[in-house]
Every structure is written in C-alpha cells, then in structure tokens.
Amino acid sequence: MWSFQIVLFILSAAVCCVSRAAGLIHVFGYEGGNVNVSCPYDEGYESYEKYLCNDPCGKNDVFTRSQKHKNKYFTYDDKTSRIFTVTISGLYLDDAQTYWCGVSRRGKDLYTEVKLEVRKDRCCDKVNKIQSIEEGSVTISCPYDSQSVNKLKFLCRGNRPSTCRQQAVITSSNTQNGRFRISDDRKSRIFTVTISSLTLKDSGSYLCGVQRNSGFDYFSAVELEVKELKSYNISGIEGRPVTLQCPNSGQQHDNKKFLCKGDQHNICTDMMENQTKFKLLNVSSTCFSVIITELEAADAGTYYCGSDSQLRFIKIQLAVGETNTERDRIIKSNTKSRLRFFTTLCFVFSLTVSPNKTSSVAPTSSAEHLTSQPPSSHNPDVSLFYILPAVFALLLILTFVLLLVLKYKSRIKQVDGINANVLNSADSNVEMRINDVYDLQEDVVYMNSSFPNMLNRDNNDIYNNIL
C-alpha cells in the first residue's frame, strides 16, 4: 500500500515539473548560420535561472548548462525588458527540432515551446536564365504572391538567402541605386530590376527577394550571362561615302534593322529614319550594310547597329577626316613658289648678262665710268666686272634653291603623314595634277606678261654672254 502511494507521488512530481506556457515561438535559420531564440518571461523572475532545453527537457537535455555545448549556445538575460535570449551558432539541418525555454523556480519550472526550422543556404531548384550584351541593359522580372504586395522587395548578387537582404544591391525602399533601378507592378504582382551599362563582370547569379514578417523570406533565382560586345573602328573622308557592316539576327530578312548613334546603346539616336543619307543594302541572313552617302564632320562618333535581337548588334567607332583641300593648297602653294622663283631667277640672269641694263643694278661709283666709255665687247676689264657678280649671285641662288627644296620635301612628308589614305587615292592625284597644270598655265602667262623679252631671248646668247 505504501509502495503504491510512493509511486503515485513520484509520477505526479515528474508531471508537475513541466509547466508549459500558452505561446509558441517559431525560429528560422539557415545551415551554417546563427539564430537567436528570444524567450520572454513575467515580472518577478528577473533573478531566476533561465535555460534552453529540448524535449523532454531532462537533466541531460539542458544545453545551456552543458560544458559540451558551451561554444554553440550563448545566453543573455535582458532583465529590463525581461527577455532571455539564446544564440545558436553553426546551425546544422539536424538542429531543426522542438526546444523549450525554461525558468527555474521552486516546485514547477516555467516552459515556453520553441520550434526551430533550418534550411540549406542556397536557392533555388528552378533558375531563370537570361542573356544580354556588354554596354547594353537587362531587365530581371521577379514574381511574388498576393500576400507580399506591401512587403519589401530586393535584389542581391549570389545564391545565399541568409545574407541576401543585408547585401542587396537595390531595394524597393530606394528605387534607384546607380546602374540599378527597381519598379513594382502591384497589379500583375511582378517587380522588375533594370541593370544598365552592363559589363562582363555583371554575369553571375542573382536572387529576387520578398521580405516576410515571419518565416523565411521568399526568393527566386536568376542566372545572368553578359556577352562580349564586338566592335571595330572605321574612318572616312569628309564629303565621301562610307559603308558600315552590321550583324543580322540570322533567320528573318524582314526583321527591324537599326543604326543608332550615341555613347550608350540604350540611349542612342536612331539614324535609319534619314533614308536619304543612310541607305540600307546587301541584306543577308547574317549581316547587312548601311551606307552613309556624304560624310560630314558631325558624323564622327560611336554607332551601334544590328537587328531587332538584343544580342545581335555591334559597336562602331567612326572617324571622319578632312578632304584633300588642305593638301592640295599646300602643294599648289609650293608649285607656285617654285615657278615664281625660277621666274625671278631668269630675271636676275637677264639683268646680269645684259650690258644695256646693268646700269640700273650696278654700283653708283661705277655707273659714271661705264657711261663715259664707248661700249666694247673685247674689253677684259668690262668682262671681269660682269662675270664676278654673276658668279657670286649664282652661288647665292643655288644656296637659296637648296633650302627651298629641303623645306618643300619636309612639308610634303608632313602632309603625307596627316592623310596617307588621301595620298593613295587615284582620284585625288588626278585632281591635283589637273589643278597643277592649271596653275602652271597661269604662271606661264604671268611670266610672259612680266618678262616678254626674257622669254623670247635665245638661251645660247644668254650662255655666251655669261662666259
């Protein structure tokens, strides 16, 4: 009889030692991360011992008292707010179970049930793969359910839900952040994030996230691939046509072709509207051509051309050079200088060897002597007087000619270095030669009108007089 009463007393004592509070605490964490279990308690228990245990909370089930688990469980008791907090670090999937927050007291301990859920720190089974091209833009669409209309939306890089919200590149609380812009269509329950001025480094994994008041945040995964933008440089001459080669989408010949000008692909100006200056031709399944009929200096810059596919366009850097007018002007000037120099040279020879005109250039001291004597072609003193100045003048002229030739060659090299393509142009050479002929004719007329006697003089007579 007494033994039966003792057994009943022991059973009743065991049951009365587990007193459970009405509330249930839900806690959520990711594998490898940390989680805080916050357990409130009533006033008057500030000085009582608190602990965390798991079912059935026996002596060996109290983790916060065990030295074995001291590096995994950390406790903090905020007696002002009366909240006992246990931090569980280094979560494992096996840590997902039921726990109890306990308050030790005489007779019956107080318990609050805690439900811990642990998930793997990666997302998701389904991944939305999208592509774009360097220097372009891309829009990432992120759907959500009807219960998340007013919740915070965000986008982060990587594939770790545990840190996504803290490392978000943009959130719905700030619609613009550099190259990222977010918009929310609540009617269709889709928020979109647009990334502009893409680089190759933007390739990788992204997570669309929606914050939840309780439980895990909602995520959807996106894999972005940014392809390299092909580009080339081309140059043209002002006033002449140039042909730009552009890629086509590959299958349709009637799809929309575009050629736009601007520093960025997404904000450039469409140039195909001007059908007079920009002409489309040579369309094939892989490429097409655009001819700019008459280049202007303002046409220089950056162009993007391709088909309506966002992945089929190319970057073109167009440089527009000046026409050959400047080169022709320099060559004409040099030609005229040479012709006028030889004209002056012939004029000097005529003054030097003509006895009846030397008095105009001879020294004043000798003029009276020359005019006082009768002319004689056999006087040795008179011959020596003409020969020495002529030789001296000839040496000066030859030196001057040498300097002009060197200067002319230097200017020709400078012009050839500025516009080598124009020098190789057959049309420009023909035009230059024609203009030189015209200029030569003008100079001959000038020589004929200025010095008619000199041009009609016999060259042999000039040579004999010098000797």
In tens, the pLDDT along 75-106 reads 999 999 999 999 999 999 999 999 999 999 98
| Confidence (pLDDT) at 17 | 32
| Confidence (pLDDT) at 454 | 44
CA atoms within 13 A on the CB side of 347: 14
- Kindly indicate the confidence band of residue 165, based on its pLDDT and cuts at 50, 70 and 90: very high
| Confidence (pLDDT) at 250 | 65
Range(s) of the chain covered by CATH 2.60.40.10: 22-119, 127-227, 231-323
Task: Give mean pLDDT, residues 13-42.
Answer: 74
| Confidence (pLDDT) at 71 | 84
- The CATH class of 22-119 is mainly beta
| Confidence (pLDDT) at 123 | 92
Within its chain, how far is the Cα of 200 from the centroid?
A: 11
In tens, the pLDDT along 435-455 reads 454 454 455 444 444 444 444
In tens, the pLDDT along 319-366 reads 998 766 555 555 556 555 554 554 554 554 455 444 444 333 333 333
In tens, the pLDDT along 206-250 reads 999 999 988 899 999 999 999 998 999 999 999 999 999 998 876
Three-class SS of residue 186? coil
Of 15-19, 120-124, 268-272, 324-328, which one has max mean pLDDT? 120-124
| Confidence (pLDDT) at 276 | 83
- Kindly indicate the confidence band of residue 157, based on its pLDDT and cuts at 50, 70 and 90: very high
Task: Give mean pLDDT, residues 145-154.
Answer: 94
**Residue whose token pair is 């007013």:** 150
| CATH code of the domain made up of 231-323 | 2.60.40.10
| Confidence (pLDDT) at 54 | 85
With a cut of 50, say whether residue 400 has pLDDT above it: yes
| Distances 165 to 121, 154, 157 between C-alpha atoms, Å | 13, 7, 10
Tell me the whole-structure pTM to 2 decimals. Answer: 0.59
Given a contact cutoff of 8 angstroms between Cβ atoms, the answer to whether 281 and 289 are in contact is: yes
Give just the sign of the alpha carbon dihedral 335, 338, 340, 343: negative
Q: What does the DSSP assignment read for 306-333? A: EESSTTSEEEEEEEEE--THHHHHHHHH
Residues near 284 by beta carbon (within 8 Å), at least 6 away in sequence: 248, 253
Angle at 253 between CA 249 and CA 259, to 5 degrees: 60
The DSSP bridge pattern shows strands 109-119 and 18-30 to be parallel
**Of residues 66 and 145, which shows the higher confidence score?**
145
Of 38, 51, 35, the closest CA to residue 82 belongs to 38
| Confidence (pLDDT) at 5 | 40
| Confidence (pLDDT) at 337 | 56
Of 85, 75, 76, 80, the closest CA to residue 39 belongs to 85
The DSSP bridge pattern shows strands 301-307 and 313-321 to be antiparallel
The token duo for 39 is 């357990």
The beta strands (E) that lie in 82-135 are given as 83-88, 98-103, 109-119, 127-133
Q: Which of 36-40, 204-208, 262-266, 330-334 is the least confident region?
A: 330-334
Reply yes or no: is the peptide bond before residue 124 cis, omega within 30 of 0: yes
| Confidence (pLDDT) at 113 | 93
| Distances 341 to 338, 345, 401, 410 between C-alpha atoms, Å | 5, 6, 8, 18
* Percent of the chain topping pLDDT 70: 67
- Kindly indicate the confidence band of residue 4, based on its pLDDT and cuts at 50, 70 and 90: very low
Residues near 371 by beta carbon (within 8 Å), at least 6 away in sequence: 359
If you count DSSP H runs as helices and E runs as strands, how many of each does the chain have, helices first? Answer: 9, 24
Q: Which CATH architecture has domain 127-227?
A: Sandwich (2.60)
- Kindly indicate the confidence band of residue 11, based on its pLDDT and cuts at 50, 70 and 90: very low
Given a contact cutoff of 8 angstroms between Cβ atoms, the answer to whether 170 and 155 are in contact is: yes
Given a contact cutoff of 8 angstroms between Cβ atoms, the answer to whether 222 and 206 are in contact is: yes
Backbone angles phi, psi at 206, to 5 degrees: -135, 155
With a cut of 60, say whether residue 119 has pLDDT above it: yes
In tens, the pLDDT along 280-308 reads 888 888 888 999 988 999 999 999 988 86
d(CA 350, CA 234): 56
Compute the mean pLDDT over every residue in the chain, rounded to the nearest whole number: 76
**Of residues 155 and 1, which shows the higher confidence score?**
155
| Confidence (pLDDT) at 9 | 34
- Kindly indicate the confidence band of residue 156, based on its pLDDT and cuts at 50, 70 and 90: very high
Return the amino acid letter for 380: P
| Confidence (pLDDT) at 434 | 41
Of 461, 462, 448, 457, the closest CA to residue 394 belongs to 462
| Confidence (pLDDT) at 117 | 95
Of 155, 160, 158, 159, the closest CA to residue 211 belongs to 155
First and final C-alpha spacing in the chain: 167
